[in-house]
C-alpha cells in the first residue's frame, strides 16, 4: 500500500483509506476530493438528501437510485460513484460524512498539510484568510489547510483548532473571562 504511513481509524477510516488508495492508484486524488466536497455541499443544502443518508427506512435500492440520479446530474467520477454504491451496499451511508472527513485527513497528511478549523464571527476576506494561513504555517512549520466557518455568537475574534491545540481569541471568551474575574473580585 502506498499510504501505510497515513493514519485514520475506525469504520469510517477503513472506508476512507480504501477510497484514498483507489484514488491514489488512479491518480485522481484531487478529483475525488472535489466530488466529495460537492456531495457535502449538496447534502448540507438538501433536507431530503439528509433524510436519505441518515434514515434506515430507505432500502438499498432506493438509496442507490437516488444517489445515482444525483451523481449523473452533477457528473461525479466513476471512482466516487462506485465507492458510494459499495457504502450503500454495506448499509453504511449514514457514516458518509465521517468517511469524507477521514478522506480529507488522509489527503492532507499525504500532501504534508496540517488541518486547521477556524471559526470567526464574520466571513473572512481573501486577504485575511491569506494572512491567517501564513501565520498558521509559520506557527506549525508546515502547510496548513484551513476549514472556515462563521459563528456570529463569537462577537469578534477567532477560534482556531489544529489537532489537539485550540486558540480562542474570541470576544465572547474574553468577556466571559472578565465576567468571572469580576465575580471573584466582588
Residue-wise over 120-148: b if at least 16 C-beta within 10 A, else e?
Answer: bbeebeeeeeeebbeebbeeeeeebbbee
Output the CA–CA distances (angstroms, integers) from residue 141 to 82, 114, 134, 146, in the order listed: 37, 9, 10, 15
User: Over the stretch 107-165, which tens digit does the pLDDT of each residue have?
Assistant: 988 888 787 889 999 999 999 999 999 999 888 888 888 889 999 988 888 999 887 78
Q: Which of 102, 73, 71 is nearest to 85 (CA)?
A: 71
Instruction: Note the Cα 50 to chain centre separation in Å.
Output: 16
Distance CA 12, CA 156 (A): 35
- Give the 3-state secondary structure of residue 8: coil
Asked if 121 contacts 157 with a C-beta cutoff of 8 angstroms, the reply is yes
Percent of the chain with pLDDT over 70: 96
Average pLDDT, the chain: 89
Instruction: Determine how many CB atoms are found less than 10 A away from the CB of residue 108.
Output: 19
pLDDT interval class at 1 (50, 70, 90): very low
Instruction: Determine how many CB atoms are found less than 10 A away from the CB of residue 25.
Output: 12
Q: Which of 65, 68, 43, 38 is nearest to 53 (CA)?
A: 43
User: Over the stretch 73-106, which tens digit does the pLDDT of each residue have?
Assistant: 888 999 999 999 999 999 999 999 999 989 988 9
Amino acid at each position: 500500500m502506498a499510504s501505510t504511513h497515513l493514519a485514520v481509524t475506525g469504520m469510517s477510516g477503513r472506508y476512507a483509506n480504501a477510497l484514498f488508495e483507489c484514488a491514489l492508484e488512479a491518480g485522481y486524488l484531487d478529483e475525488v476530493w472535489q466530488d466529495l466536497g460537492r456531495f457535502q455541499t449538496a447534502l448540507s443544502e438538501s433536507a431530503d438528501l439528509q433524510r436519505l443518508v441518515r434514515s434506515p427506512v430507505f432500502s438499498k435500492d432506493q438509496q442507490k437510485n437516488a444517489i445515482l440520479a444525483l451523481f449523473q446530474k452533477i457528473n461525479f467520477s466513476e471512482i466516487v460513484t462506485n465507492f458510494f454504491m459499495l457504502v450503500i451496499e454495506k448499509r453504511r451511508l449514514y457514516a458518509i460524512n465521517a468517511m469524507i472527513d477521514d478522506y480529507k485527513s488522509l489527503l492532507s497528511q499525504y500532501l504534508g498539510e496540517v488541518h486547521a478549523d477556524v471559526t470567526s464571527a464574520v466571513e473572512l476576506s481573501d486577504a485575511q484568510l491569506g494572512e491567517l494561513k501564513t501565520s498558521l504555517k509559520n506557527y506549525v512549520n508546515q502547510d496548513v489547510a484551513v476549514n472556515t466557518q462563521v459563528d456570529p455568537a463569537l462577537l469578534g475574534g477567532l477560534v482556531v483548532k489544529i489537532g489537539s491545540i485550540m486558540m480562542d481569541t474570541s470576544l465572547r471568551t474574553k468577556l466571559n473571562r472578565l465576567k468571572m474575574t469580576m465575580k471573584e473580585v466582588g
